[in-house]
Amino acid sequence: MRERTLRVDYLARVEGEGALHLRLRKGEAVEARLEIFEPPRLFEGFLRGRACTEVPDLTARICGICPASYQMSSTQALEAALGLEVEPAVRDLRRLLHLGEWIESHALHVYLLHAPDFLGFDDAIRLARQAPDPVRRGLRLKKLGNAVMRSVGGREIHPLNPCVGGFYRAPEREDLVALLPELEWALEAARETVRWVAGFTFPELERPYEFVALRHPQEYPVNEGRVVSSEGLDIPVAEYEEHFEEEQVPHSTALRSRLRERGAYLVGPLARLNLNADRLSPPAREALEEAGVEVPIRNPFRSIVARSVELVEAVAGVMVLIERYRPPERPRLPVPEALPEAVVGHGCTEAPRGILYHRYRVGADGLVEEARIVPPTAQNQASIEEDLRSLAPALAGMDRAEATWLCEQAIRNYDPCMSCSAHFLTLTLEEG
Which residues does the annotation place in the binding site?
44, 63, 66, 373, 417, 420, 423
12 binds another protein per the rule CB under 8 A:
yes
Q: State the Cα–Cα distance between residues 272 and 268, nearest whole angstrom.
A: 6
Residues forming the site for ligand SF4 (CB under 6 A)? 61, 64, 160
Q: State the Cα–Cα distance between residues 248 and 46, nearest whole angstrom.
A: 20
Closest CB 174 distance from ligand SF4, rounded Å: 23
Q: Which of 7, 136, 173, 260 binds another protein (CB under 8 A)?
A: 136
Q: State the Cα–Cα distance between residues 183 and 190, nearest whole angstrom.
A: 10
402 binds another protein per the rule CB under 8 A:
no
Contacts to another protein from residues 36-55, by CB under 8 A: 37-46, 48, 50-51, 54
Terminal Cα distance for the chain, rounded = 30
Complete DSSP assignment for 5-37: EEEESS--SSBS-EEEEEEEETTEEEEEEEEE-
Complete DSSP assignment for 353-389: TEEEEEEEEE-TTSBEEEEEEE-HHHHHHHHHHHHHH
123 binds another protein per the rule CB under 8 A:
yes
Contacts to another protein from residues 139-158, by CB under 8 A: 139-140, 142-143, 146, 154-158
Q: State the Cα–Cα distance between residues 387 and 157, nearest whole angstrom.
A: 32
Closest CB 389 distance from another protein, rounded Å: 23
Q: Which of 82, 90, 97, 128 binds another protein (CB under 8 A)?
A: 128
429 binds another protein per the rule CB under 8 A:
yes
Q: What is the DSSP letter of 211?
A: B
21 binds another protein per the rule CB under 8 A:
no
In sequence order, what are the beta bridge partners of 368?
A: 362
Which partner, another protein, ligand SF4, none, binds residue 135 by CB below 5 to 8 Å per kind?
another protein
Residues in the annotated binding site for Mg(2+): 44, 373, 423
Q: Which listed range, 302-310, 338-346, 375-383, 415-423, lies at the site for another protein (CB under 8 A)?
A: 415-423
Closest CB 28 distance from ligand SF4, rounded Å: 40
Contacts to another protein from residues 170-209, by CB under 8 A: none
B/e letters for 77-115, b = 16+ CB within 10 Å, e = fewer, are: bbbbbbebebeebbbbbbbbbbbbbbbbbbbbbbbbbbb
Q: Which listed range, 137-145, 214-222, 223-231, 290-298, lies at the site for another protein (CB under 8 A)?
A: 137-145
B/e letters for 125-163, b = 16+ CB within 10 Å, e = fewer, are: eebbeeeeebbebbbebbebbbbbbbbbbbebbbbebbb
- Of 112 and 186, nearer to another protein (C-beta) is 112
- Of 61 and 361, nearer to ligand SF4 (C-beta) is 61
Closest CB 100 distance from ligand SF4, rounded Å: 18
Cα dist. 75→59, 83, 94, 344, 346 in Å? 10, 12, 10, 13, 10
Closest CB 240 distance from another protein, rounded Å: 18
137 binds another protein per the rule CB under 8 A:
no
169 binds another protein per the rule CB under 8 A:
yes
